[in-house]
Amino acid sequence: MVVDIQNLIVFVFFGEEYGSSIQRFYGINRNDSYDFLKHLKLYEKRVHSDFIPIACDPGGNQICLGIKSKNRDKIYFWDHELEKDDGEEPDYSNMTLVTHSFDDFINNLYELEL
């Protein structure tokens, strides 16, 4: 049996030496499990309303784009392990800044060979 191991596309958190990797960017395809609109609906009450999920890492955490106020265009990492309980309002306690702009995020992604 041959296993095709792919390289990881990784990023680091702002001011840190560690981060995570991208499993998939969400797209527009209602028949796909990585459909953007499906994930927007899934996380609308779980992720702070300043953000929308645009990708996920292999552990189910979300990479989010800021869409409002001071967070507009910033990229944050949303850690599902630290998510608020049902009924609690989402806040920033489980979010880590990745970059101050989407362009910086894309430009700073790099491939890690396995």
Q: Where are the domains of the chain?
A: 8-112
How do residues 2-27 score in pLDDT, each as one tens digit? 545 567 899 999 999 999 999 999 99
How do residues 23-49 score in pLDDT, each as one tens digit? 999 998 878 888 999 999 999 999 999
Give the DSSP letter of residue 82: G
Q: From CA 23, how far away is CA 84, in angstroms rounded?
A: 23
Q: From CA 108, how far away is CA 13, in angstroms rounded?
A: 11
At position 90, the amino acid (one-letter code) is: P
